Amino acid sequence: MLKNYLKVALRNLWKNKGFSAINIIGLASGLAVCLLIVLYVTDELRYDKHYPHADRIYRIDADIFFNNTSAIFAVSPDPLGPALKRDFPEVGEITRVANQGGILVKKDNRNVQDDHAAFADSTFFKVFSLPMIAGNPLTALRDPNSIVIDETTAKKYFNTTDVLGKTLLVDNDNYCKITGVIKDIPGQSHFHFHFIRPRGKDNPSWLSNNRYNYVLVRPGVTKQKLQKDVDATISNYLGKELQDQLHASLNDLKKTGGHFNYHATPVTDIHLHSDKQYEIEANGNISYVYIFSVIAVFILLIACVNFMNLSTARSANRAKEVGIRKVAGSLRLHLITQFLTESVLISFFSLVLAVLLVMLLLPLFNQLAGKAMSVATLFSTWLFPVMLVLALVVGCIAGSYPAFYLSSFQPIDVLKGKIAKGFKSSWLRSSLVVFQFSISIMLIIGTIVIYNQLDYIRSRKIGYNRDQVLVLHNAWYLDKQIHAFRNELLNISGVENATVSGDLPTGNNFDTEGWFRDATMDAKRGVVLTDFYVDENYIPTLGMKIAAGRNFSRDFLSDSTGLILNEAAVKVLGLKEPLKEILYRPDFSNNNVNGAVAYHIVGVVKDFNFSSMHQDVGPLLIQLGDNRGSIAVRVHTQNIISIINIIQNRWNAAAAGQPFSYTFMDDDFNKVYTAEQQTGKLFITFAVFAIFIGCLGLFGLVTYAAEQRTKEIGVRKVLGASVGGIVAMLSKDFAKLVLIASVIAFPVAWWAMHTWLQSFAYRTALSWWIFVVAGVAAILIALITVSFQAMKAATANPVKSLRTE
C-alpha cells in the first residue's frame, strides 16, 4: 500500500512540475533559513558548557551604587576568592584571573604582539578543566617564571606542540619556561587566552575591584547558597574595611539608597546575560537569540503557508480525481494518506535542498553573523534526527489542510461541476497570504529602523571629533622617549596635533574611583566617577569644548592636582560653582587608605560620549597623568597612506623591533556597534528570504487563479477588455490583501522596534515614512510578482481559451 502511495505521489509531482518546483523551492528556502538560525542559536547557547563542571562554576561580579552614581563590574576584590574558600566548605575551589591584554613575545629577533594573555592562580586548571596536550595541570602555574600556551601558539612559535621546557622571551625582559600546552580554547567561551602566566603579588584591599574571581562549588550547592556565602563574606570583610577607612557601614549606605553588592553569575550565563564593565571579551545578547528564533518560526510558517495555499488553490484541478476515486470505492482515509504522502515527500525533497543551500550559504552567514559555525553541526547526534522529524512535522502540518479539505469533496458535487472555487471563495487562503506579507512587512520595517539607528549614531554630534584621528597602540613600547616621539610627530606635514593617553573615548574598561567633597571621605557622601588620565594636549587634539574654566597647562605646576569635570559630573556632585571646589580621594599607597588627597577643579568640559550610546553620558573626571597606552594623532591630509608610512618609519627608529599597530578612531567607534551592524545585515537577509518565499506563493496563486478564470478572461477580451484592465482585475485582489497585511503589520512592528530602541539612550525617531516605504515596497513587490503571470494570461489568444471550453 505504501509503495502505491509513493508511486502515485511521485507521478503527481512529476505531472505538475511547476507546482512541485514552487513548493519545493519555497519550503527549502524556509527550512534553510530555519536551519541557519538553529545553528546560530545553538552556537550562542553552547557558550562555556564544554567544561565538565560548567554548571558549578560562577564568577563574582560587583554592583556598587551610592549618591546616584553606579559601577557594575565583571571584577571583584582580590581577597574575595580566598576568603570564600577559607570560610565556607561549600566552595570546592577558586581561581583569580587578571586579563593582561597585550603581550610581547620574541620571535625570530622581532617582537610579536598578542592580545590574549592572562595571569591566573595555580588553581586555574582545577576550575577550568581545559584539555592539556603536554604538562601537568596541577603544577603548570606554580613556578613564577612558568607559562602555559595553547596549541596554535606552540605551532606558531616552534612549529610543534612538543615544547615543554622551552623558553619564551616575554615583554622584552621575562624569560618564561613553557610548563604546559593546552588545546585551543573552544570558540564558545567567554575568554580565549593564548598565554597564561602565574599571578603576582596579592592586593589585600577589599575596596579595590581588580580581579576576576571564579568559584567552583561542590556538587549539590545551589546558586542561592553560594550567594548567601558571598553576602556574608562581603559583610564581614568589606564592611569592616569600609567602616575603618571610609567611616560608614554597609547599613549606613543602605539607609541612603547605596550598596556594595556582589553577585554570583553562572559561567554559562556570562555570554548572553552579562554586559558589565571589564568583560574579558564582548558578549552576546539573549534578546537577539529570542528575536532570531521567532523569525525562524515565522519564515518556516510562511513556507508552510505557501504549500497550503497552492494545494488548496489546485482543489478544482484535483476535484475530478477525488470524485472518481470515491466513486471507485476509495475511502476518505486513503485519500488523506495519499495527499499527506505527497506533502511529506515534498518536505523531504525540500530538506535535502535546504541542507545543500545551508552548505552553500553558511560561509556568507558566518561572515554576516561574525561566527565560525560548521556544517558538521547539522549532522551532530541530536540535530540530524531533529531535522528529519522537522521535515516530517512540516510535511504533515503543511499538508494537513489540503488533505482534509480535498478528501471532503462529495462525488456528486464534483461530477456536477459544483467544485470550481476560485481565489475569491477561500477566506483561509486570503488570510494566509495576509499572514505571509505581514511578517515580510515587519521585517522590512525592522531593517529600515536598525539602519536608521546606526546612521543616527554615526552622524550624531558626540562631543568630540573622531574623524581623521590615527590611534597608535601600545605606546608604552616607546618608554621614556614617548614625549619626544610625540613632539617629533608634530614636525610631519599634515599632522595637526597629538596626545598621549590610553583613555580614549572609543576605548573601554576605564578606571573608576570614589571621590568626596570633604576630607572626612564619608562614604555616604561619596560618588563613583570614571577617571581619565591624559596630557595637556588631549582636549584640543580630540576637538572637545571647554564649558567653563580652562584646559590643563604645563605652565601651572599646581595642575598636577588639577581636575577637569564633565557636565554630568558637575550635576551629580551638585556643584554650583565648580571652579571654586575641592574634591578628595583616598590615598591608597601601600594598599591602605592613608588619608585624603585634595584636588582642585580647573575646568569643565562639555559632555562627550565615552561609552556606548546605549547609556547616557556618565559622570567623568579628567586629570593629568602618565598614561602611555596610546597616542592619538590628528591629521589633515588627502594622502593618509603617506603619513602612516612616515609615522611608521619614525616609530621603527624610536622603538626598534617593537610592533607598529594603529587604527582609525572612527573605525574604533563603529566597532562598538558591531552587534547592531550584524543584526541589521541578518535582518536584510531574512527579509529577502521572507519576501522571496511569499512571492513564490503569490506567483503560484495567481497562476492557478488565471487558469480557473481562463474562460472569463477570453470572454472579456472578445467583448473589448484591454490588457491593462485584465491585469488590474487579476492583481487588485492580491493588492487588497497586501494592504490589509500592512494595516496588521504596522502596529506590531511599531511596538517591536519602539521596544528595541529603548535600549539606546540616544535614538532616532520612528518616523511615519518608514511604515509608508515598507508598505509601498511590499505592494510593489507583490504587484510585480502578480503582474508577470497576469500579463501572460491577459495577452493569451482568447480563441484558444474559449476553444478549450
Q: What are phi and psi of 547, to 5 degrees?
A: -90, -30
Residue 732 has a pLDDT of: 80
Cα–Cα distance for residue pair 370/301, rounded to 1 Å: 27
CB neighbourhood size of 688 (10 A):
15
Half-sphere exposure of 84 (CA within 13 A, CB side): 32
Residues contacting residue 751 through CB under 8 Å, at least 6 positions apart: none
**Rounded-to-integer distance, Cα 612 and Cα 614, Å:** 5
Whole-number pLDDT of residue 761: 83
Distance CA 710, CA 704 (A): 10
Cα 402 to Cα 615, 672, 747, distances in angstroms: 52, 50, 32
For 79, the enclosing helix (H) or strand (E) is: none
Torsion of CA 787, 789, 791, 794, to 10 degrees: -130
Is residue 72 helix, strand or coil? strand
Maximum distance among all Cα pairs of the chain, rounded to whole angstroms: 107
Alpha carbons 486 and 634: distance in angstroms, whole number: 12
> What span, in angstroms and rounded, lies between the C-alpha atoms of 375 and 719?
59
**Whole-angstrom distance, CA of residue 72 vs CA of residue 63:** 5
Quickly list H helices, 466-616.
482-489, 538-541, 567-573
The CA distance from 482 to 627, in Å, is 11
Cα torsion 595, 598, 604, 609: sign? negative
> What is the Cα 416 distance to its own chain's centre?
60
HSE, side-chain direction, 13 A CA sphere, residue 397: 14
Nearest to 163 by CA among 153, 172, 171: 153
Q: Which residues of the chain have pLDDT under 50?
A: 421-425
Degrees, nearest 5: CA angle 353-354-359: 100
In angstroms, the CA 759 to CA 745 distance is 22
Tracing cell 528575536 back to the chain, one arrives at 291
What CA–CA distance (Å, rounded) separates 510 from 159? 38
User: Do residues 41 and 200 make contact, with C-beta atoms less than 8 angstroms apart?
Assistant: no
Torsion of CA 430, 434, 437, 441, to 10 degrees: 160
Tell me the C-alpha distance between 174 and 195, whole Å. 14
pTM, to two decimals? 0.84
- Cα separation, 93 vs 124, in Å, equals 9
**Cell (9 digits) for 448:** 529600515
* Cα distance between the two ends of the chain: 37
Residue given cell 570614589 in the structure block = 514
Cell of 704: 492557478
3-class secondary-structure state, position 596: strand
Beta bridge partners of 60: 213, 264
**pLDDT number for residue 423:** 39
Cα(213)–Cα(82) distance, rounded to whole angstroms? 9
Which residues are bridge partners to 174 per DSSP? 170
CA distance 794 to 714: 8
pLDDT tens digit sequence for 375-434: 777 777 677 788 888 888 877 877 776 677 666 766 666 555 555 544 344 676 678 788
β-pair type (527-534, 511-515)? antiparallel
Whether the Cβ atoms of residue 682 and residue 368 lie closer than 8 Å to each other: yes
Query: Which grid cell sits at 339?
Result: 495527499
Q: According to the model, what pLDDT value does residue 631 have? A: 95
CA dihedral 382, 383, 384, 386 (to 10 degrees): 90
Q: What share of the chain is helix, strand, coil (3-state, %, to 5)?
A: 55, 20, 30
Rounded to whole angstroms, the Cα distance separating 265 from 267 reads 6
pLDDT value at position 190? 94
Grid cell, residue 384, equals 540530524
Residue 534: exposed, middle, or buried by beta-carbon count in 10 A (0-12, 13-18, 19+)?
Answer: buried
CA 642/CA 180 separation, integer angstroms: 44
